[in-house]
Structure formats: C-alpha cells, structure tokens
Structure 1
Amino acid sequence: MKKVIRDFECAMCGRCCASQDLVQLTAYELYGLARHLEIEPAEFFSRYCVTASTTQNPTLHLYIKTEDGRCPFLKDNKCSVHEARPYACMAYPMRVYWSLTEDMKAFVRSKYPALEKTCSLFRLNDGDVLLGDYELLSRQTLAWWVDDAYFSLAGEMADLSIPYRVADFYIHDKEMMEAAKRYVVNPYHPPSAFGAELAYARISLMLQAAIWNATASFVPVKVQEAKEDERLGKFILLTADADSAKALGLLAKSGRLDLARTLAMASNAYGGRHVIASMHGSSSDHIAIGFIFHESGTIIRELTDDGKKPLYIFFKPETGDEVKLVGFPLNVKI
C-alpha cells in the first residue's frame, strides 16, 4: 500500500550540502540569511553570492557560491544557518507539491549520485507519495517569480532591495498567495497556470514602478473589446471603474507623463493568447499606474499591422454616458 510522506526525516549526512555547484537563492531569502547572521545584505551578497544562468535556469538568477561543491554554511556536516536556510533546502526532497518517491530518487541519482548511499530518501518505498508543504512551496514560488521578473527587467546590475521589498509585499498579500498556491498544487491546470501568468505580469509591473522609484497602483480591467472607428482606426476598448478611469485621465492630461513600459508575454496556459502588462508614470510625481489584459495573438497582429503600428488602448468608465476616452499607444511586438 502506498504511504503519503509529509514529514521527511533527514539523516543529517550533509552530502546534499556538499554536492552542489550552486545553491538556489532569492533576494527575499538573502535578506533573511543576512538578518540571521547579523550582517548587511550587501555584505552577504559580496561574500557568499553570485548571479548566474544555468542549464536548468537559463535566465539570470541569484545563487550561493560553493567551494568544491560544499555550501559555505556546512560546518561539521551540519547547517550553520539551519533556521534561515533557503527554501530549496527546507523543501528537500519535496521539490514539488506531489511526486512519487521513485521519480524523486531518479532525479537525485542523476544530479547528486553521492546521496544514494546515505540519504533517507532512498530508504522509502518506490511507490510512496511525497507531499510537499504547499505554504512553503508557495512562498518559494512567489519569491522566485519576483527574482525572475526583476532580473529580466534590470539585468545583472541590480538593487536587491527592490525584489526583496516586492516579494515581502506579495508574500503577505492574500490574493497573490492564493494564485501561487493554486499553481503549486496543480501547475498543469490551465486556469491555475494562467492565473500564475497574470500574477507574474502584475509582479513585473510592480517591480518596474519600484525601479522608477514610483508608487504603483493598478487599474482593474472589467471588460475589453476590439473596436474600429473612422477617426481612431482599430483599437482595444477597456472598461474600468470610474475612479480608475479618472486617475488615468488626470495622469495623461498632467503633461508630466514621461515613464512607460509595456510587456507582452505569450501564454503557455492558453496557446495563442498574450498577456499585455503596461505601466505609465510620472518621474516628477513619483507615481505610476498599471493595467493588465490579455488578447489573442491574431487580434493583436491585426490591430498593429503585424507590429508595424502601436497597439492603441482606450479606457472608458463603466458608468457615465458621454465621456472622453483616455488612450495610450503601446509598443507591442509578439
């Protein structure tokens, strides 16, 4: 009979800590480790960290450096920062929410063959089910999304206080954590995966506002439709609540609108669709307003003449009859 393993009893052999090229980390975890060691985050990064891309994670990310495969915090075969250790270490071997023991054994054998002789994982029956801590995995996922989006926006020259602050905000945000939990429990379910894509888009815009040193707010898009007008041409009409539409209008009319960033992300959950995330702001007022919507690639290509023209977006309030539309040209290429 299959057993469900929720609590893994580590053999404390230390081999997983001595068989690593790099130890996966995020800015959020880095700050926790720095607090634990009572040093500044910048000092922790300088002494222990590197930004790198790997075959498993081709985009730039943050890692703890090892020496001859050994984690610098492995002392006498014990973790010297156990209470503040990275999420990847806390989660092992439950790297995902649900997995068969035999599959995890195969993964560990392929990556860390030295563990087979001593790791408690190999004492479990092949048919047993490993059930991860989905609260822990959800925090790890959110922190990872933030770092992934941040390094995509900022590159290697990064201010790690920005992803730390954004991760700390969203890890304590109920709606964002629910999106992460749904994804962790069932990442291949299209609604869960698409919810994760929308969450990633929101994180990206929040990070962009922080890079601009601007306070961010978001316009909830209620209705959207592709339209055509003799004067305006082809465009997408978005409906928002009256206050959000008014705030966008005031920003557009201020004459101080000098910040803009639009991201177009192909959806893996729903093939053919794209998530469009756009942030506009004022550097003098230190404010930015973002909005997110999704549309089929076919319609986007039609409205932009295959990327030769901007994608024109207009907002209208959901209440009111005669209103002046607020519009933005978005540079969207898919």
Structure 2
Amino acid sequence: MMKKVIREFECAMCGGCCASQDLVQLTTYELYRLSRHLNIEPAAFFEKYCVVAATSQNPMPHLYIKTINNACPFLKDNKCSVHEARPYACQAYPMRVYWVLTREMKDFVRAHYKLEDACSLFKLDDNDVLLGDYELLAQQTIAYWVDDAYFSMAAGEIDLSIPYRVADFYIHDKAMLDAAKRYVVNPEHPPTAYDSELAYAKITLTLQAAVWDTTSAFVETAGQEVGEDACIGKFLMMKTDEESVKAIRMLVESGRLDRARTLAIDSKARKDLCIVAALHGSSSDHLALGFTIGVEREILEDLTNNGKKPLYVFFKAQDEGKLAGFPLNIKI
C-alpha cells in the first residue's frame, strides 16, 4: 500500500493527553510567554506552576509544569485555558521530529497515554507519514537546547531571564534556526548531529557570557593548520576576518582577560572529532569573544600531548598580518 503523507495532524481536542501527564514539558522561553498571557511575573509563574526536575526520559534537569492528579493545571472543562500561549510540546503534539511513520507515533502515544478511544491519531493508517510544523519544531528545539545548556551549567541561584534572553535571540537567528531545522528532520543522522553540536556549543558560550554579564561576539573561523614555534611548541592556526583579529589582539594585549571557559566535547556524529568551544572575556570591559570549531581528536591529542599541555590557538586575517591568540586548558 502506498504511504499517504499527512501534512497537518488534526487534533480532536479530547483533552486526554492533557489529563494524563506526570509533568508537562516547558522551556523558559515558553514560561515567559505564558506569564505574559496570564499577566503575572515570570518568577511568580515559576513559583506557582513549575519545577526543575530530571525524568526517566530526560536525565538532565529541565523545566516542567507541575500537574494536579496527572492533569495540566490549565485544563479547564476539558479545554486548554491558555490555548493561545500553550507550550511548544502541546502545539506540536504528537510530533517531536519533522517526520515519522504513524505506527511509530502510535506506539509512543500508547506507551505514555491512554488515548486510543479519542485521539484522532489512531484513525490514521499505520503506514501514513506524519509531517510536523517545521518552523515550530525548530523553535522548540532551540528553546530546549538553551534550557538544557543553562540548567546543566547553572549553580546556585537560577536567573530565568538569562535563558529567556538567549533563547529569544537565537529563535530569531536564521543560522541557528537552519541548524535546528536540519536537526529535527532526523536527529540521529550524523551530518545534522555534528551541525547541532556546534550550535549547542555556541549557545552554551552565549549563556556563559550572559552569566558573566558581558557582551559577547563570536569569531568566524575558516580553515585550520598546525604550526610549530620554538618557544610555545605546536599550535592550531585558523583564518578569520581582520576585525576579529584586531579585537582578539586588543583583548589579549590589554592584560584584562580575566575570564575564560573552554568546552571539549566528543562528537557523537563523528567519533574522530572533538568540538572545541572557548570564550574569553574581560570583566572590566564587559566583553567576551568566543569561537567553536571541530578538531580531529588525533590532532588535538598531538597538540596537547594527550591533554598534558594547553592548546595554543592563534588567528590570522587573510592578509597574513600579526597573529592573535591564547592558550586553552582543555580536558580530552
């Protein structure tokens, strides 16, 4: 039988999924939208309706709406009382990725809800292909990435305005939206996975800059080569634009670089690759510069003597002028 493509899932609005939840997935970005809709402060909304928790499906701490007897607190008379501002997960139901076979989605829904008598999903043929809302799923992914990174790095008091501001910026950033769209088409496909790893690392650095209360900018990198110097030994060289080199040089030569964060993440998409992301800043200048790159693990191990030495990174402009850079202390 030929597969039928269902481009828009038509919800029967039975309220069943809203009344059979342990927790309702939420992001900080959506919390702000809901709080505006209800005309209350975000902190008050968080205090009344939310919890930060880890679940069996998501072992990392995340933001959720607390349910009452397994029902969403905004379910009134079997209808959503905040429908215009409802969370992404509710808007996208039953989709979590851009496309899926109906039988696979039915299996997922059966495992989490008892909806077969009411949900219109079960009226579709098992071989139909469901397509989600591309833009909506990309926005949801970005908001989720931001919260995932923030709650993983936050220590002590949580400032919800930080992930909200970062999500609001990147949800309107075309490059980040494009990365998220490629991800939701197939999260397990290696090329998109690597793309999303770089995007996630950039989000993490932006959050760090916001925690530092600094203005952040990112250096665009192109091309890598390994060099060697009699004084510092082996180093990584990357090309960028002339203005970025000037900015890095000014920060380094000012002597006011007193903040730094470096991430070294094994790529799940390419086992031979590490994602290196670094952010350097000045608290007195309220400025931070960062970059994200993929480096072959073998090269990284050689440059750092298996993590025993810092990774020296230098940047040069196209005109081959004076170099600018700094050492990164990373664990590999």
C-alpha displacement at 1:2, in angstroms?
2.7
C-alpha displacement at 1:9, in angstroms?
2.3
Q: Which residue of 2 aligns with 1:317?
A: 317
Q: Secondary structure at the match of 2:181?
A: helix
Q: Secondary structure at the match of 1:244?
A: helix
Q: Could you list the runs of 5+ residues in structure 2 that have no partner in the other structure?
A: none
Distance in 2 of aligned mates of 1:121 and 1:156: 43
Distance in 2 of aligned mates of 1:8 and 1:181: 19
8 Å contact from structure 1 (residues 51, 156) kept in 2: no
Distance in 1 of aligned mates of 2:291 and 2:257: 15
Runs ≥4 residues deviating over 3 A: none
Q: Which residue of 2 aligns with 1:252?
A: 252
8 Å contact from structure 1 (residues 221, 238) kept in 2: yes
Deviations 1:81-132 (Å, cap 9, x if unpaired)? 01110000111112221111111111111122x2122211111111111110
Q: Secondary structure at the match of 2:116?
A: helix
Q: Which residue of 1 aligns with 2:208?
A: 208
8 Å contact from structure 2 (residues 97, 186) kept in 1: no
Instruction: Please tell me the residue identity of whatever aligns with 1:333.
Output: K
8 Å contact from structure 2 (residues 62, 148) kept in 1: yes
Q: Which residue of 1 aligns with 2:225?
A: 225
C-alpha displacement at 1:242, in angstroms?
1.3
Q: Which residue of 1 aligns with 2:104?
A: 103
Distance in 2 of aligned mates of 1:223 and 1:286: 29
Question: 1:86-101 maps to which residues of 2 (within 5 A)?
Answer: 86-101=87-102
Q: Which residue of 1 aligns with 2:21?
A: 20
Q: Secondary structure at the match of 1:56?
A: coil
Q: Which residue of 2 aligns with 1:134?
A: 134
Distance in 2 of aligned mates of 1:7 and 1:180: 20
C-alpha displacement at 1:159, in angstroms?
0.8
Normalised to the residue count of structure 2, the TM-score between the two structures is: 0.96
Does residue 300 in structure 1 map to residue 300 in structure 2?
A: yes
8 Å contact from structure 2 (residues 257, 280) kept in 1: yes
C-alpha displacement at 1:26, in angstroms?
0.5
Percent of matched pairs sharing the same residue: 66
Question: How many residues were matched structurally?
Answer: 331
Question: 1:1-334 maps to which residues of 2 (within 5 A)?
Answer: 1-112=2-113, 114-155=114-155, 157-321=157-321, 323=322, 325-334=323-332
Instruction: Please tell me the residue identity of whatever aligns with 1:209.
Output: A
Instruction: Provide the alpha-carbon RMSD of the alignment.
Output: 1.3
Distance in 1 of aligned mates of 2:159 and 2:97: 29
8 Å contact from structure 1 (residues 216, 290) kept in 2: yes
Q: Could you list the runs of 5+ residues in structure 1 that have no partner in the other structure?
A: none
Q: Secondary structure at the match of 1:256?
A: coil
